């Protein structure tokens, strides 16, 4: 009987932990914003001397 109660206790504690993790485990933050967004990135070409493959070896 004692063993049975211990098993029940362990299972209930484990269930509580799993429940917390399932509820709070998502990293998908529930945040909304009215500002900001993503648009296609258009690079600004600098005056880099290595704009193209050059034989540097």
Which stretches of the chain bind other proteins, using CB under 8 A?
A: 21, 24-29, 31, 35-41, 43-46, 48, 50-57
Q: How far apart are CA 16 and CA 18, in angstroms?
A: 6
Minimum CB–partner distance for residue 2 and other proteins (Å): 30
Q: Which is nearer to other proteins, 5 or 30 (CB)?
A: 30
Minimum CB–partner distance for residue 34 and other proteins (Å): 9
Q: How far apart are CA 16 and CA 2, in angstroms?
A: 21
The tally of CA atoms less than 13 A away on the side-chain side of residue 12 is 6
Q: Which is nearer to other proteins, 4 or 53 (CB)?
A: 53
């Amino acid at each position: 009987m004692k063993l049975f109660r211990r098993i029940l206790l362990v299972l209930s504690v484990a269930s509580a932990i799993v429940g917390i993790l399932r509820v709070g485990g998502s990293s998908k933050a529930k945040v909304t914003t009215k500002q900001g967004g993503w648009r296609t990135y258009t690079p600004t070409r600098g005056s880099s001397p290595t704009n193209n493959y050059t034989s540097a070896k």
